[in-house]
Amino acid sequence: MHSAATVPAAPSSRVQTAPATSAASAAAPLNPGIVFDMVQAHQKTAALKAAIDLDVFRAVGQGPGDLASIARHCSASERGMRILCDFLVINGVLTKEDGHYKHTPSSAAFLDPASPACMASVAHFLSASALMDADTQLAEIVRNGRTYLPGQGSVEPENPLWVEFAEKMAPMMGPMAGPLGKIVLDGHNGPMRVLDIAAGHGLFGIEIAKQNTQAHVTGLDWAPVLRVALRNAEKAGVKDRYDMLPGSAFDVDFKGPYDAVLLTNFLHHFNKATCVGLLKKVRGALKAGGRAATLEFVPNPDRVSPPMPAAFAMTMLTTTAEGDAYTFAELSAMYSEAGFKAVTEHPIPMSPHTVVLGTA
Amino acid sequence: MHSAATVPAAPSSRVQTAPATSAASAAAPLNPGIVFDMVQAHQKTAALKAAIDLDVFRAVGQGPGDLASIARHCSASERGMRILCDFLVINGVLTKEDGHYKHTPSSAAFLDPASPACMASVAHFLSASALMDADTQLAEIVRNGRTYLPGQGSVEPENPLWVEFAEKMAPMMGPMAGPLGKIVLDGHNGPMRVLDIAAGHGLFGIEIAKQNTQAHVTGLDWAPVLRVALRNAEKAGVKDRYDMLPGSAFDVDFKGPYDAVLLTNFLHHFNKATCVGLLKKVRGALKAGGRAATLEFVPNPDRVSPPMPAAFAMTMLTTTAEGDAYTFAELSAMYSEAGFKAVTEHPIPMSPHTVVLGTA
């Protein structure tokens, strides 16, 4: 129990006597707010999810943005809606002017269902109970050093999570496809064969097929996942150049040789030895001079920056047995051990992702 | 379902072609990271709680701060501990130098159990399941405009939550006691009677008794809560000038007149009419010229700044039927309606709290 006697004079008086302006300074020596903010952070996830579920971002986009209109659109109370919308403003995903709520450029693009780039499904996927359940067991997860899920966690064979991923994460991954395609093709526009391992939504391979009309793409994933990719290939008008190779990347015959192999959002689920083994198999399926491209969260060597790629390691701790957010040095070493020659990194601007390219 | 066809060229290419440096600029027009960060915010609460439960902050404080030592101290795996500690660094509550984890000034003061100002119990209280359960029901709470808890929510009679609050929130509230005491006493050092309504841990009334050795304090709260306050009064050496008045602030006879009445962290649980009624009762128990002092989260008139006081409304939405984070204008109007004369606000530097003082 904490008592009056244990509340110290020193830190508290230091807090009290510091000028108010220094609160905003990064050099402020003591900030209990940072602890309070971190403890309360769960409310941010909940508020975003509730706002999406209540259709708040569509209501704001349609206007006029007064509280009564938004509450009516969402069939919600004004008290609840005011507090929710204010909370969204505090967290930078709405603005408030003269009592009217408006979109920020980011909320208009990424949270309004009227926007083709809407990420609502991404929020839905990432806040699904399978991922949130880890919260209550994190101390035990840290003790054991592995996911609380059985076996290999999220990468257990035929995990239905990946159909969800394919269906819901496209808005987050789609914008990466263009830059990845350019990096992989590097101006190449002749006939080529491309293998898209862990194709998921299929957007990366499909983008290659769009950028190079002579590219033939083979998507590899669990069969139910590939059905999502095939629908996307059909919508993109490249279905006639899209083949499916259902199964596990570790088990199926890749049926090479390929000019390029895509390994997007995949290596982070496994330990280094497993990654090297898979990269060897990939290299064996590439033509000489062919390219293997991973899309990854790649933190700096300090592993604590930039924030988003570095923090991704936490998701790999909670959902996999031995996965990680690997640094470029680690990925490069894996590529080299698998026999690749040049290994280069290509951060995608305005995103937390990096393409790492190895040449066979 | 989201498909390749619905991922737009415009916003994504705008994201892609923007220079990387603008990502850090507040003027950056589009930032999907803000959405991703908000969706994943729940991990911050979980990580802080797990680190406290595993005793990470004590291990870091004792040094030497290498991963193996911390993992050993916490009986945890190195993989789990590395990822957890890196996550804490990313979130500003540890630092990392040459692979060694160290305290920040804030984590040393507020998270290391060796510090008398340690807020670990605050984190424990705020992440208790009763408060976290609201997360999964927030859309429904917003629809209904009131807590998912029955009746008056957290302020139902004899709610055991307040014994927990009294025991665990002292490290957060303790530093407010000194400034509040100074504001209420304003140099007064003669004999006086002080009523501390919703005394909780009792630290505010106890502080008055410490600052003025002729002050007699009466703590009002539920009986089990007052036992916590009395223990604190004993530890502070003011037990002989500390009386207990058990019961509800709305029901018991205050047994005035008093020179000062403290109403800390209380009004926010109720609607305006209830607050005015209580303030009238308070005024009736004050001597002429006596002072009523509330300690509150007081947002600006825009209700979206400063972040901490403004965001507190969310906790009042999820845990009360009609409570709120009231602006100074609202609190001032309540005081006036209850018959108080001068009403002044006194923000406590380096804290999210404000003292609002009314003179009878």
Answer whether A40 touches B (CB < 8 Å).
Answer: yes
Q: What ipTM score was computed for the predicted complex, to two decimals?
A: 0.90
List pLDDT tens digits, range A187-200. 999 999 999 999 99
The pLDDT of residue B29 is 56
pLDDT at A349 over 90: no
Weakest mean pLDDT among A227-236, A343-352, B24-33, B202-211: B24-33
B171 or A31: which leads in pLDDT: B171
Contact A143 B80 (CB under 8 A): yes
- Pairing status of strand A192-197 against strand A215-221: parallel
CB B110 within 8 A of CB B118: yes
Answer whether B158 touches A (CB < 8 Å).
Answer: no
CB B292 within 8 A of CB B279: yes
List pLDDT tens digits, range B229-269. 999 999 999 999 999 999 999 999 999 999 999 999 999 99
Instruction: Transcribe B117-181 into DSSP letters.
Output: T--HHHHHHHTSHHHHGGGGGHHHHHHHTS-SSSTTGGGSTT-THHHHHHHHSHHHHHHHHHHHH
Contact B2 A201 (CB under 8 A): yes
Max CA distance (Å), chain A = 78
The pLDDT of A12-34, averaged and rounded, is 45
What's the rounded Cα separation, in Å, for the pair B223 and B252? 12
Contact A35 B122 (CB under 8 A): yes
Our CA-based measurement puts residue A70 at a distance from the nearest CA of chain B, in whole angstroms, of 12
The pLDDT of residue B255 is 97
Contact A7 B350 (CB under 8 A): no
Look up residue B253 and give its amino acid: D
- The first and second tokens of residue A258, run together, are 């390929």
Cβ-Cβ contacts under 8 Å between A and B: the total is 433
User: Which residue in A57, A60, A67, A61 sits closest to A98, CA to CA?
Assistant: A67
Our CA-based measurement puts residue B288 at a distance from the nearest CA of chain A, in whole angstroms, of 31
Q: Which of A7, A80, A302 sits opposite B116 (nearest CB)?
A: A7
The pLDDT of A319-330, averaged and rounded, is 97
The pLDDT of A325-353, averaged and rounded, is 95
Q: What mean pLDDT, rounded, does chain B reach? A: 90
Distances (CA, A) of A111 to A64, A108, B38, B216: 17, 6, 12, 56
What's the rounded Cα separation, in Å, for the pair B348 and B260? 19
The pLDDT of A32-43, averaged and rounded, is 92
pTM for the full predicted model? 0.89
pLDDT at A1 over 80: no
Answer whether A145 touches B (CB < 8 Å).
Answer: yes
Q: Which residues of A touch B12 (CB under 8 A)?
A: 117, 174-175, 178
Q: Which of B32, B167, B308 sits opposite A1 (nearest CB)?
A: B167
Answer whether A119 touches B (CB < 8 Å).
Answer: yes
Q: Is A289 left (phi over 0), alpha (psi -120 to 50) or beta?
A: left
Answer whether A4 touches B (CB < 8 Å).
Answer: yes
DSSP 8-state code for residue B245: E
Q: Which residues of A touch B204 (CB under 8 A)?
A: none
The pLDDT of A147-161, averaged and rounded, is 87
Q: Which residues of B touch A75 (CB under 8 A)?
A: 143
Answer whether A351 touches B (CB < 8 Å).
Answer: yes
pLDDT at B23 over 80: no
Answer whether B301 touches A (CB < 8 Å).
Answer: no
Nearest CA in chain A to B100: A302
Chain A interface, mutation test: which of B1, B6, B7, B303, most A Cβ atoms within 10 Å?
B7
Q: What mean pLDDT, rounded, does chain A reach? A: 90
The pLDDT of B69-95, averaged and rounded, is 98
Residues A282-315 as b/e (b if ≥16 CB within 10 A, e otherwise) read: bbebbeeebbbbbbbbbbeeebbbbbbbbbbbbb
> What percent of chain B has pLDDT above 70?
92
> What percent of chain A has pLDDT above 70?
92
**At B289, phi and psi to the nearest 5?**
85, -5
Q: Which residues of A touch B107 (CB under 8 A)?
A: 35
Look up residue A304 and give its amino acid: V
pLDDT at A2 over 60: no
The pLDDT of residue A173 is 85
Q: Which of B119, B135, B302 sits opposite A46 (nearest CB)?
A: B135
